[in-house]
Amino acid sequence: MREPDLLNYLETFITPQRRQRFIDILELRTRYITVAVEDVFQMHNSSAVIRSCEVFGIQDCHLIEARFGKRLDKNIALGAQQWVDAYSYPDSLSCIKVLREKGYKIVATSPHTDSCLLDEYEFDAPLALFFGTEKEGLSEEVLREADETIKIPMVGFTESLNISVAAAIILQQLSSRLRKTDLPWGLSEEEKFEKRLDWTKKSIKHVADILERYKRQL
């Protein structure tokens, strides 16, 4: 089955406007920044982080689920899980290992005083942003393994923000700044094609029947 022919066939089942929307969104998608969420207890928080990833064009989200199990609430994510690739890990070190092998710098988000301020953070490599639990923050394990730490500048008495709020602030600022650089932040043509095909399939009712009919026509 030739994939370009398949995409052309499937796109006859969606509107031209939706097809163009996929193309436009994929031009702004990035894997240069990725997100890892460590053992978040409140289900709505991990779901809200995935929603923020989608809104700010971050294609991948990595969920470390050692302590509390799966933490994705589809009602909170509001469908964002269809458009973002989420990966699950049994522990933090396995997640860090995978991301390092893919060339990511491990960046912990922490309000510690020695963290780099978000406004002053400079890009020099693909980065994986790690966010921790609501009360405890990131584990010592992640903080020890991190290449860098960053924090949001705050001028009030409160030392930290809810994880979903912190993720939204950091992703909005860093993704906006990233797209103004000359860094190779965009998806490759192959990645764009794969996601366009995937999203098209997810947009079609009874797609399994349509795929079977297509196979029979070949």
Pair (77, 114) in one structural domain? yes
Pair (112, 194) in one structural domain? no
Judged by average pLDDT, the poorest of 19-33, 75-89, 195-209 is: 75-89
The predicted model gives 115-123 an average pLDDT of 93
> What pLDDT sits at residue 215?
87
Pair (125, 82) in one structural domain? yes
The predicted model gives 10-25 an average pLDDT of 97
pLDDT at 179 > cutoff 50: yes
Pair (101, 178) in one structural domain? yes
Name the residue range of residue 209's domain.
1-29+188-218
Pair (112, 166) in one structural domain? yes
Q: Which residues contact 97 (CB under 8 A, 6 or more apart)?
A: none
Judged by average pLDDT, the poorest of 98-112, 128-142, 178-192 is: 128-142
> What pLDDT sits at residue 113?
67
Pair (135, 69) in one structural domain? yes
Q: Provide the number of structural domains found in the chain.
A: 2
> What pLDDT sits at residue 41?
58
Pair (97, 140) in one structural domain? yes
Pair (139, 210) in one structural domain? no
120-146 per-position pLDDT tens digit: 999 999 999 999 876 678 989 999 999
Structure confidence at residue 1 as a pLDDT band (50, 70, 90): low
Q: 107 pairs with which residues across the strands? A: 129, 148
> What pLDDT sits at residue 77?
41
Pair (42, 142) in one structural domain? yes
> What pLDDT sits at residue 217?
83
Pair (132, 155) in one structural domain? yes
Pair (135, 153) in one structural domain? yes
CATH number, domain of 73, equals 3.40.1280.10
Pair (94, 4) in one structural domain? no
